[in-house]
Chain A
Amino acid sequence: MTARTYGLQLLIILFASIFTENILLARFLGMCSFLSVSRQVKTAFGLGLAVVFVMTCTVALDWLAFQYVLKPFAILYMRYIIFIIIIAAFVQFIEMAIERYSPVLYQNLGIFLPLITVNCAILGASLFMVIREYDFGEGIVFGLGSGIGWMLAILAMAGIREKLNNAHIPKGLQGPGITLILAGLMALAFIGFTGVLAGK
């Protein structure tokens, strides 16, 4: 494979993971924090940034663990446990590092980090990376794209929900109900991007 086609492939993976195969809207991962932390744009932005960063790094770390530990020892079935331990340890480490070196950043981002350990999108991205047999570069791009896609979705949702504060919504539909319907509409919009890849 030449460098040019490889670059094109990375671009396609990036585009697909942000738009057409959005990890939240098309794969339904990370719904819990999506529903509960999407009330304000500011907090959604903080959580989104943290997800982008953690997802990119953990996909890379999990790729290394998969290639150099799980495969040689033929213990593929252990990947769930190994991945979770890596994610939890990484988040913990980052939390300590940020607290030590950048108290300002810690105040803004710190509260979101523990939430991320239980975010299924993070583990999901690593599992997709294994199933689709990405190489290291593809894996990183996929992790980055999925993170950006997730952030985009939660930012858009928070923006809409801030406007919704003044709207009259039937009682039973308030909260999660209306959020799910909005997510459905957003998923429809994101499906519209499919044509871009097909027409290439």
Chain B
Amino acid sequence: MPGQKNIKNVVLDSLWRDNPIFRQILGICSALAVTNLVLNTMVMGTAVIFTTALSSLTVSLLRRWTPRVVRMMIETLIIAFYVILFDQTLKAYWPDMSRNLGPYVGLIITNCIIMGRAEAFANSNKPGLSFIDGLFSGLGYALVLIAVAMIRELFGMGALLGTPMPFFSSSLWDRWIIMVMPPGAFFTLAIIVWIFRSLRFSKSEQTKEAEK
């Protein structure tokens, strides 16, 4: 399988066909908590894209010199390095946002997606391709979370990015407070996953997927 992948396939796989959230429901731990506001989610998404892309690149560059026995540890350290970089930058230039996100930026280290891409792809592919794979895996992940955040903020607060929206902020719309509370995140993501999986199943009857 490795070696034949071209850029177009990698991009399509990571964005749609193999989207980490839809396909494996991986890595939502570190990010679902910040999806109550679109802005927070965008920053968080940027952090994830930054980390996956660059750590995939680094892992791939070092793949010939990494002893196999300690490679998990090395991968973790590489990921931690980029997360710390992002965390410190955010703290220095946007302290309010850093406080909003709390421990969740740091928790990107344990996000399974990044480790998963490093293990499954970057370990056995060229640096350039690994970078693209990491970049678009992160992007596919961020897009889903931003969709969740948009639904939650719109229904819960009647606003998008803090700007009140025409219908939803008027008295015609009873704000669904539950959407900005934790259960709202679970319900929204469940419905998005449901829609996506139904689309997939109607296209290709891969019943064994349902076992997952």
Contact = CB atoms under 8 A, between A and B. Distances in A.
Nearest to B76: A84
Contacts, number: 127
B173 interface: no
A31 B28 contact: yes
A77 B110 contact: no
A54 to B, nearest CB: 14
A190 to B, nearest CB: 9
A124 B111 CA distance: 11
B107 A171 contact: no
Contact of A181 (B26, B190, B211): B190
A81 B201 contact: no
Contact of B197 (A26, A172, A183, A188): A172
A187 B84 contact: no
B87 A123 contact: no
B143 interface: no
Interface in B153-180: 178
Contacts of A172: 193-201
A45 B144 CA distance: 32
Contact of A26 (B182, B195, B211): B182
B102 to A, nearest CB: 6
Sort chain A's interface into a size bin.
35 or more
Contacts of A170: 194, 198
B83 interface: yes
B80 A28 contact: no
Nearest to B27: A32
Given A29-B107, A77-B88, A175 B187 contact: no
B62 interface: no
B70 to A, nearest CB: 12
A119 B210 CA distance: 24
Interface of B: 25-30, 32-33, 73, 76-77, 80, 83-84, 87-88, 102-103, 106-107, 109-112, 115, 178, 181-187, 189-190, 193-201, 210-212
8 contacts: A31-B25, A32-B25, A32-B27, A77-B87, A130-B103, A172-B193, A180-B187, A191-B181
Interface of A: 25-32, 35, 77-81, 84, 88, 118-121, 123-124, 127-128, 130-131, 170-178, 180-181, 183-185, 187-188, 191
